[in-house]
Amino acid sequence: MYAQWFKKAIIYQIFVDRFSRGVEADKNPTDCWNTQSKCGGTLTGVIERLPYLEELGINTIWLTPINKTDSSHGYNIIDHYEVDPDFGSKDILHELINKAHERGIQMIMDFVPNHVYEQNPIFTEARDDRQSPYRKWFYFRDDNSYEAFYQYPSLPKLNLDYGPARDYIVDAAKYWLDFGFDGFRIDHVFGPSHDFWKHFRKELKESHPDAPLIGEAWGFEGVGKLRLHDLHTVNIRGKYLKYLVNAQDSAMKEYYGELDGTLDFRFKVLARRFIAESGDTNRMEKFDKALKKHYAYFPKDFFLPSFLDNHDMNRFLFEAGGDDQKLKDAATVQFAQDQPPVIYYGDEIAMSQEKYIGDPTSGSHNQVRRMYPWWIPRYDEMFYFYKDLIKARKDKQKTPDLESEAIEVSDQTPY
């Protein structure tokens, strides 16, 4: 098994544009959030908040994409080899990685191989010149339309089974590992073929065997409640019937032997079903039973980093009706599992939102991508609760012979 260090990872996901503008700038309140444009978060801001993250106790940072882009989220990449100037520079990124490493914090890069942004010069040349050597890098049709990520024309899909395009992406991944990143969270792994992922793994493991390759094997919300009209959305390798049962687990397991693991979207679904949305007095017992069945489906050497929420979904606390106890219950179970836990920035201070992201008046995903409110004193009970959870997990990892068991919690559990 590669990337053994990742077993002990305690991951903090940072949405770079919304995390920190820098200690001084963060003293000034801002209401910037309901926009696809940038709100001022920077890599320097992350550097200046390393002491906070070290105090919390995490040992791994996952940065959302830092490549050149024109959006706050960064998943529409203009250049895979450049740092977005609004976030900083390569020198500042080097400083961040080095200072994080000095504190014992590993750095995970969010890598986007499936598609590029329509302003990417490789794509614009291919679109405007039918004789361009880049034409085969994409899936153009006779009328000059093309395949795109979820049919968004601004995100043309790369043909990663075509050698030059494949090599470009593989070389970009090698570049950032050589630069100093310790591994990847890989966006939308459903897009490229399995042949591509086998090649990707072989190439990267030859030079960076300890770099974890963790995929996002997810393409639809509510996979745990699959409905017939979802099938056209699922469309994973065309195996519709297989995914009628245990859809999310089947989808993730397909990448065993190609990636080191996948983000555990099933854990998220179960946590919401049995804790956030449930008032059942036996919910923790049922949650534990469902988790054991879930984990039994996967090989022991396949990472399943667990999370309660991320930048693409309603925050857990919002789904739980603002009930801090339910967040504590879910986090307690999360940190009791063998798999690496992920904290989405702000969960440790009980950040929430005002409306569902599906509400047409909500601002969509920006609801869960608000600026971290550094201007408000937030060293509250939830912060210390998470800090204690992290410390307890680290203490337990010092005795690796112990098998972890889900911790039974209730409203009367003392903290």
Average pLDDT, integer, range 307-326: 97
Average pLDDT, integer, range 319-343: 97
| pLDDT at residue 401 tops 90 | no
Cβ atoms 72, 36 nearer than 8 A: yes
Tokens matching residue 39: 């709100």
Computed over every residue of the chain, the mean pLDDT equals: 90
**Digit-coded pLDDT (tens) for 15-71:** 999 999 999 999 999 999 988 889 999 999 999 999 999 999 999 999 999 999 999
143 is catalytic: no
309 is catalytic: no
| pLDDT at residue 403 tops 60 | no
Catalytic entry in 182, 216, 258, 260: 216
- The C-alpha atoms of residue 362 and residue 373 are separated, in whole angstroms, by 19
- Give CA angle at 337 (286, 406), nearest 5°: 40
* pTM reported for the whole predicted model: 0.91
Q: Which domains does the chain have, with CATH numbers?
A: 15-113+162-397 (3.20.20.80), 115-159 (3.90.400.10)
- The C-alpha atoms of residue 401 and residue 391 are separated, in whole angstroms, by 18
**What pLDDT, on the 0 to 100 scale, is given for residue 280?**
84
Catalytic entry in 187, 249, 258, 260: 187
**Digit-coded pLDDT (tens) for 253-283:** 999 999 999 999 999 999 999 999 988 888 8
347 forms beta bridges with none
Q: How does residue 148 score in pLDDT terms, banded at 50, 70 and 90? A: very high
| pLDDT at residue 225 tops 80 | no
**What pLDDT, on the 0 to 100 scale, is given for residue 79?**
98
Cβ atoms 12, 62 nearer than 8 A: yes
**Digit-coded pLDDT (tens) for 97-140:** 999 999 999 999 999 999 999 999 999 999 999 999 999 999 99
